[in-house]
Amino acid sequence: MAASRVKVLELYKNLLREGQKFADYNFRNYAVRRMRDAFKENKTLADGASIEKELKFGFQQLELIKRQALISQMFKTEKLVIEKPL
């Protein structure tokens, strides 16, 4: 149980970190919001098999987000008004 808790926290931190790498403000906020919602939705899981299944899915999504964030960095656009410092 403790090992899976460590894995879950590691996955959560990595997903949030990678989600912050999107160049576009809207994609960045959507990714972070979606990750938080997904983890809140699944925080009541108690069955080891379902936890492992969700962890596997989470790590697959992490790889997808890494690729998409990299592509996003390649095609940057001008920052939005809400992103610019005052």
Contacts of 21 (CB under 8 A, 6+ apart): 28, 69, 70, 72, 73
What tokens appear for 77 in the block?
Answer: 């656009």
**Domain-wise residue ranges, the chain:** 2-74
Residue-by-residue pLDDT tens, the chain, 86 positions = 566 889 999 999 999 999 999 989 899 999 999 999 999 999 898 888 999 999 999 999 999 999 999 999 888 788 888 877 75
pTM reported for the whole predicted model: 0.82
Q: Which amino acid is at 27?
A: F
3-state helix, strand, coil split of the chain in percent (to 5) is 70, 0, 30
Residue count (the chain): 86
